[in-house]
Structure 1
Amino acid sequence: MNPSIFAQLVVLGMIWGASFMFQRITVPVIGAGMTGAGRMIFAALTLLGVLALLRKPLQWRARWRDYLVVGVIVMGLPLTCFAVAARSLPAGYLAVLNATVPLFAVLIGWGNTGMRPSTSKLAGVVVGVAGVATLAKFGHLEMNLATALGFAAALFASFLYAVGAIMAKQRYGDADPLVITAGNLIGGSVPLVPLALATAPSALPALNVSAALVALGILCTGIAYALYFRILRAAGVERAVTVTFLVPLFALIWAALFLGEPITGAALAGCALVLFAVALIFEKVPGLTRKPLVPAKEALCRE
């Protein structure tokens, strides 16, 4: 891999890893609704500024319906769900659960097409489930209603990310990803504004909370997406998605350094299992050959 691309991937992993830490700072003070909406609004303004500099039109009149529908599913709801989960789950846990998106993508793709995934991908799903179970069962958190809801919210957000990716591919085709992302951010934030206003704190939050929200929107969402698309254009999809391996690691490091969250053996084991699962799904584990994809019904007839 080109050293410049690798360095950009590391920076992106550091930025996205920090997003979960910032949510742990903002959510207890300003709530999940304000965190989700504020993050998207700051990110949308950032990308609109980038589009203005590049002189690229938003294409709002032609695509506003898609921006509203896909924006809510791929950004509005997932970001709010992760904000809800941040009430009870540590930042490292949130990042590990976020890394389960490829697992859901495999299962959704199998259900939509009827094509059996490769052995490596199916093994990745099993290992990924084991990783999440390890976090839930053996982590340092007490499993109660609040933490269970946190796990459910984060996993549902990951599921929505996978669904949204399929919808975006179907609706947008080869459209400029930077334009589409800006439109989705605007469309997805529309239904969140009333929620944010209804749950807004009565007094202005402390400076550190406001700074965390701004960083969450501008740095971790707006600038991070712009950097991701830069990597995507230069290195291709297969290399760009390897950032998935870096985000949970940096999330654990940032949370330990700045929030004092413990890095336990169970957390490391769960993280390792989920990252190994992602490697299996991307078919990057040496020694595992790809299995030709065949329709599920045909495969059953052969067995």
Structure 2
Amino acid sequence: MSDMERCLERDAGVPAMAATRDWRTPLELLVLGAVWGGSFLFMRVAAPVFGPYALVELRLALGALVLLPFLWLARAQFPLRLWPRLAAIGVVNSALPFLLFAWAAQRAPAAIGAICNAMTVLFAALVAFLVFGERIGVRRALALLTGFAGVVVLATAKVSGLSLGPAVLAGSAAALLYGVGLNLVKRYMVGLPPAASAAVTLGCSAVLLLPLAVVHWPAGPVPPLAWAAAVALGVLCTGLAFIYFYRLIHRIGAARTSTVTYLIPLFGALFAWLLLDEPVTVKMLLAGGLILGSVAISQRGP
């Protein structure tokens, strides 16, 4: 067999191998979407019992413990001079958004936080434009306007006669902070191992939040279901999900992995409807469609 024949045989085998493995990608994205969608269900169960401070403290600490082995292996890349910067990014990208979502979970159905979370992609583009001078383009500007229209629709909705406005504002603020955090990570954490960096940011946030968590710790006994939800939120939805997320980015790229954004609201609403019997109203569906549609428009290639 000639060298050219060997090359042709090798190149022909690559698409065949990719095709046989292609089923993994949608399945893994579904799993990650389900896990992160489930985080809003767990917050809805645990937040009314723990309160936002204690719940987020558990989430941060457990997530950091899961990721600690990655930090230990990469400890030489994290001199002490980096830790203040990483701690500040952790507050913006983890502690504050987690608190806002937990606060919203005390006051509104789980689907509300999951829908607001989808705005992260749009806010990241807006922050990059306003603060860092990146181009935004007409298409993304239209996507932002569409997404904000979805937020307005959601904020004016009511469930069981109660206004969702405060919870929507909290969830939107959390998504904005995620957008700021993504830009900070992109610019100030380049070259650092992602899982180890997440361990530092989560751990620092847990230390900073600890005094507030102690002061606001639940006075009465916490039911087992709330404990299970809090542990799942920290271990599964924060620590293990980060590992899974970074592995997907490494294998299929950031652009394809970001499509999980579309799945989180769907799973968040589905779990809340199935397991908590929470209603999904017409306005929630309309708002979710506007927000997810705007994300789809913003992520389309040229």
- Using the size of structure 2 for normalisation, the TM-score is 0.88
| Equivalence for 1:9 | 29
Q: How many residue pairs were aligned?
A: 281
Alpha-carbon offset, residue 164 of structure 1:
1.1
| Equivalence for 1:194 | 211
Alpha-carbon offset, residue 131 of structure 1:
1.2
What is the CA–CA distance in structure 2 between the aligned matches of 1:213 and 1:194, rounded to whole Å?
Answer: 19
CA contact (8 A) 1:70 1:188 kept: no
Alpha-carbon offset, residue 148 of structure 1:
3.0
Alpha-carbon offset, residue 205 of structure 1:
0.4
| Equivalence for 2:117 | 98
CA contact (8 A) 2:154 2:165 kept: no
CA contact (8 A) 2:40 2:111 kept: yes
CA deviation digits over 1:205-263, x for unaligned, max 9?
01100010000000000011100000000011100111000000000100001111112
Alpha-carbon offset, residue 6 of structure 1:
1.6
Query: Unaligned 5+ residue runs, structure 1?
Result: 285-289, 291-303
What is the CA–CA distance in structure 1 between the aligned matches of 2:104 and 2:132, rounded to whole Å?
Answer: 32
AA partner of residue 111 (structure 1): L
* Distance of aligned partners of 1:195 and 1:60 in 2 relative to their CA distance in 1, 3 Å threshold: farther
CA contact (8 A) 1:60 1:183 kept: no
How many percent identity over aligned positions?
33
1:216 equivalent to 2:233? Answer yes
> Which has the larger displacement, 83-92 or 222-231?
83-92
1:89 equivalent to 2:122? Answer no
Alpha-carbon offset, residue 204 of structure 1:
3.0
1:130 equivalent to 2:149? Answer yes
| Equivalence for 1:56 | 74
What is the CA–CA distance in structure 1 between the aligned matches of 2:143 and 2:226, rounded to whole Å?
Answer: 37
CA deviation digits over 1:114-150, x for unaligned, max 9?
4542222111111111111222224436455xx4332
Query: Unaligned 5+ residue runs, structure 2?
Result: 1-18
Q: Secondary structure of 1:220's partner?
A: helix
| Equivalence for 1:159 | 176
What is the CA–CA distance in structure 1 between the aligned matches of 2:131 and 2:233, rounded to whole Å?
Answer: 34
CA deviation digits over 1:24-50, x for unaligned, max 9?
111111101011111010111111145
Pick the structure with greater CA Rg: 2
| Equivalence for 1:173 | 190
What is the CA–CA distance in structure 2 between the aligned matches of 1:242 and 1:175, rounded to whole Å?
Answer: 24
AA partner of residue 64 (structure 2): A
AA partner of residue 123 (structure 2): F
What is the CA–CA distance in structure 1 between the aligned matches of 2:161 and 2:209, rounded to whole Å?
Answer: 31
CA deviation digits over 1:74-106, x for unaligned, max 9?
101111111111111211010000111112112
| Equivalence for 1:282 | 299
CA contact (8 A) 1:72 1:189 kept: no
What is the CA–CA distance in structure 2 between the aligned matches of 1:263 and 1:155, rounded to whole Å?
Answer: 19
Q: Superposition RMSD on alpha carbons, in Å? A: 1.8
CA contact (8 A) 1:136 1:143 kept: no
What is the CA–CA distance in structure 2 between the aligned matches of 1:191 and 1:153, rounded to whole Å?
Answer: 21
CA contact (8 A) 1:71 1:188 kept: yes
Alpha-carbon offset, residue 60 of structure 1:
5.5
